[in-house]
């Protein structure tokens, strides 16, 4: 049974001096307060976990901050100076001196100053210390360090080979992270090895939050749908697994008992973003509803017996999901087919369209397609829009624009108070959210990559 817990984050719950009936109501319902962005907030304690339930009065929430339409810094050209001709950009981050570093797939790093002027280009391809075969992700690490990731699968293990550098790439070390990617296939369980985005997955102590392989549970079929589950784990700064945080749902699949594979895809199923980390907290959303769970981690070097990572807060937005209609299906398919098979003959495109039309779909559209945390601890969730983040990213690599409207992010404070919405530019893949900027990747109509930094205008209220 949930017990009342008093929280001090602006709530106006009072004890004593009231009628016993009111005391009982508070005990049962917890604390209700007025939140930002036109909302009310109820807080209660459940076995040591703070449950935050937010009821918006308007949906989507009103804008709380604005993103400048014109970028403060833009790096990348279609043709011209080779120092600005970016190739297969895999990530970007802000350096300690306010500049920008860009990672390309061929293990190349490009450094630019705070105005976007090229400083130097480093080639890091190789097998030695401080080198890698290729780069798949770039993110900030503890202090001003950078972390670059190469991914591969080996013998049922998800293998992340990490290159950790100072922000000027002068010193480095290599680190292997190995996470169970698959297990024994049985009549009731099959496995799918999936790699995750490594952006913002490192904690303040240098440990990492990661997802293991997807376990498809054929024995849990409900109306022909089976869940995909994965272990949310934490690895220490040396790459050793130290804790299984939770087992989380990472998708749904059609149960096909008569096929060899036993499972199939579901059209417009939620694709949850990877776990994100900020300080000593890990953040996770399943993507299929308006929910963010916040876990608190003990430092990796802690001498305490308890080095686990525990659920501390569950933020729930009490907003109905949008029903998934036939029109949504056709809109999605109408974007997916030319994006993936636009260069194929018409008969191939027709076969692909027929295949997609034959896939089942859930009753509701996904809720969340990305999750980020800024340096102040504010939680940003990007609301789902057709065709979804995965399709949008694939289209970006081909120079196609499939997102016509700005992306809408809903922002909460670290304690779960709703602040409001922020709109970000269409077709900009957000890689970093700072206190006063967003940093992302886009492509032009020719497929040439650009890195853009846009300023955040927070208004007279200042920082929350």
Give the tens place of pLDDT for each residue, 382-427.
Answer: 999 999 988 988 888 777 888 889 999 999 999 999 999 999 999 9
Of the candidates 163, 71, 189, 153, the one whose C-alpha atom is nearest the C-alpha of residue 441 is 71
CB contact at 8 A, 231 and 214: no
Give the tens place of pLDDT for each residue, 283-293.
Answer: 999 999 999 99
Domain residue limits, the chain: 325-360
How deeply is 409 buried, as exposed, middle or buried, from its count of CB atoms within 10 A (0-12, 13-18, 19+)? buried
Our CA dihedral for 252, 253, 254, 258, rounded to 10 degrees, sits at -140
Q: What is the pLDDT of residue 344?
A: 92
Helix, strand and coil percent figures for the chain, each rounded to 5: 10, 40, 45
Cα torsion 299, 301, 302, 307: sign: positive
pLDDT along the chain (464 residues), means of 10: 31 37 40 70 96 95 95 95 95 93 94 97 84 88 84 68 80 81 78 81 92 90 92 91 92 90 93 94 97 93 68 97 97 94 93 96 97 96 94 83 90 95 95 96 90 89 53
Q: What is the pLDDT of residue 127?
A: 78
Give the tens place of pLDDT for each residue, 113-124.
Answer: 999 999 999 998
Give the tens place of pLDDT for each residue, 9-66.
Answer: 333 343 333 333 333 343 344 566 666 666 899 999 999 999 999 999 999 999 999 9
Q: What is the pLDDT of residue 156?
A: 62
**Cα angle, residue 312 at apex, residues 293 and 390 outer, rounded to 5°:** 15
Of the candidates 176, 178, 180, 177, the one whose C-alpha atom is nearest the C-alpha of residue 156 is 180
Alpha-carbon distance of 327 to 333, in angstroms, equals 10
- pTM of the full predicted structure? 0.89
Alpha-carbon distance of 53 to 43, in angstroms, equals 6
Instruction: Give the count of beta carbons closer than 10 Å to the beta carbon of residue 163.
Output: 24
Q: What is the pLDDT of residue 459?
A: 66
Q: What is the pLDDT of residue 304?
A: 53
Residue tagged 């997102």 (tokens): 403
Residues in Cβ contact with 58 at an 8 Å cutoff, skipping those fewer than 6 apart: 38
What ranges in 262-310 are assigned the alpha helix state H?
Answer: none
Q: Which helix (H) or strand (E) holds 352?
A: helix 346-357
Distance of CA 261 to the CA centre of its chain: 29
């Amino acid at each position: 049974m949930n017990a009342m817990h008093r929280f001090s984050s602006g709530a106006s719950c009072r004890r004593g001096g009231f009628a016993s009936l009111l005391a009982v109501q508070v005990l049962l319902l917890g604390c209700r307060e007025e939140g930002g962005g036109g909302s009310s907030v109820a807080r209660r304690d459940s076995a040591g976990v703070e449950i935050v339930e937010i009821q918006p009065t308007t949906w989507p929430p009103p804008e709380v901050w604005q993103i400048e339409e014109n970028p403060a810094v833009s790096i990348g050209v279609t043709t011209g100076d080779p120092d600005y001709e970016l190739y297969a950009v895999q990530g970007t981050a802000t350096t300690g001196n306010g500049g920008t570093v860009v990672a390309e797939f061929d293990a190349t790093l490009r450094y630019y100053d705070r105005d976007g002027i090229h400083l130097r280009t480093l080639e890091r391809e190789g097998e030695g210390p401080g080198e890698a075969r290729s780069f798949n992700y770039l993110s900030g690490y503890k202090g001003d360090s950078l972390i670059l990731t190469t991914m591969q699968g080996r013998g049922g293990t998800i293998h992340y080979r990490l290159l950790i550098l100072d922000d000027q790439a002068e010193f480095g070390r290599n680190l292997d992270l190995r996470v169970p990617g698959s297990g024994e296939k049985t009549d009731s369980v099959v496995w799918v090895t999936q790699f995750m985005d490594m952006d913002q997955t490192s904690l303040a102590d240098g440990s990492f939050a990661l997802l293991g392989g997807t376990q498809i549970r054929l024995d849990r079929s409900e109306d022909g749908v089976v869940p995909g589950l994965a272990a949310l784990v934490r690895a220490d700064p040396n790459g050793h697994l130290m804790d299984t945080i939770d087992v989380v749902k990472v998708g749904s699949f059609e149960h096909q008992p008569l096929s060899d594979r036993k499972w199939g895809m579901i059209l417009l199923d939620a694709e949850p973003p990877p776990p994100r980390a900020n300080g000593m907290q890990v953040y996770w959303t399943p993507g299929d509803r308006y929910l963010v769970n916040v876990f608190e981690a003990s430092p990796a070097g802690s001498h305490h017996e308890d080095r686990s990572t525990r659920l501390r807060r569950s933020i729930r937005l009490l907003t109905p999901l949008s029903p998934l209609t036939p029109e949504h299906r056709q809109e999605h398919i109408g974007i997916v087919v030319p994006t993936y098979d636009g260069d194929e003959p018409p008969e191939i495109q027709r076969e692909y369209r027929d295949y997609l039309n034959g896939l089942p779909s859930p009753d509701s559209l996904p809720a969340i397609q990305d999750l980020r945390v800024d340096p102040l601890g504010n939680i940003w969730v990007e609301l789902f829009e057709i065709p979804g983040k995965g399709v949008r990213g694939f289209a970006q690599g081909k120079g196609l624009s499939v997102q016509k409207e700005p992306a809408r992010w809903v922002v909460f404070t670290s304690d779960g108070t709703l602040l409001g919405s922020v709109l970000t530019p269409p077709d900009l893949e957000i890689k970093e959210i700072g206190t006063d900027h967003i940093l992302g990747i886009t492509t032009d109509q020719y497929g040439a990559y650009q890195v853009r930094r846009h300023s955040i205008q927070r208004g007279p209220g200042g920082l929350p």
